[in-house]
Amino acid sequence: MQNITIKNNKVTNKNAFYNAYTKDAIATVNIVKNTKNTKQMCTNATVYKIMLNAQSAVAETTFENDATASSYYCMLADNLASITTFYYANAENAFICVNKVMHCVTQHLTYYDDAHVAESLLANTVLADADINNYCYLSN
């Protein structure tokens, strides 16, 4: 985990800025304005990996006539659309708030059975160990 300081909207460590676009990592970012604010952030590369996982999930799923399968396919497609929109809206940001990323990943989940979708989206990223129950409520 990296410690990074952003002062006057500028990353003070140039290596951290470059690594944010090339490495999947979590960083503690100190945002210095009039007061100090610390947030858990992940890199731009992390969100890119999540977007690729979402694209793969949609590509591997077949749209069927069954209502349950169709609902599942639509949920995957909605996840891909949300994550892609989120990624490109934040493409210029080297570091992105973990809470916002997790909201984007979990916003279309409804049931406990959907938890594996978030796990597959977060697979092979630094957020793979995140407990999605900390970011959303899933029902029976």
Let me know whether 23 and 84 are in one domain.
no
Let me know whether 69 and 112 are in one domain.
yes
DSSP state of 3: E
Let me know whether 14 and 75 are in one domain.
no
- Tell which residue, 70, 130, 89, has the closest CA to residue 106: 130
Task: With respect to residue 139, please indicate whether it lies within any of the assigned structural domains.
Answer: no
Quote the domain boundaries for residue 31: 2-42
Give the pLDDT band (50/70/90) at residue 33: low
Let me know whether 31 and 71 are in one domain.
no
How many CB atoms neighbour CB 11 within 10 A? 17
Half-sphere exposure for 38 (CA within 13 Å, toward CB): 5
How many CB atoms neighbour CB 26 within 10 A? 18
Let me know whether 87 and 23 are in one domain.
no
- Over the stretch 56-68, which tens digit does the pLDDT of each residue have? 999 998 877 888 7
Contacts of 76 (CB under 8 A, 6+ apart): 54, 57, 58, 61, 117
Domain count of the chain?
2
Task: With respect to residue 31, please indicate whether it lies within any of the assigned structural domains.
Answer: yes
- Over the stretch 94-110, which tens digit does the pLDDT of each residue have? 889 999 999 999 999 98
Let me know whether 10 and 76 are in one domain.
no
Token pair of 61 as six digits: 């799923």
CA dist., res. 81 & res. 41, Å (int)? 22
Q: Is the pTM of this model over 0.75?
A: yes
Greatest mean pLDDT among 61-65, 83-87, 111-115: 83-87
Let me know whether 13 and 67 are in one domain.
no
Mean pLDDT of the chain: 85
Output the pLDDT for position 9: 62
Let me know whether 55 and 87 are in one domain.
yes
Output the pLDDT for position 34: 64
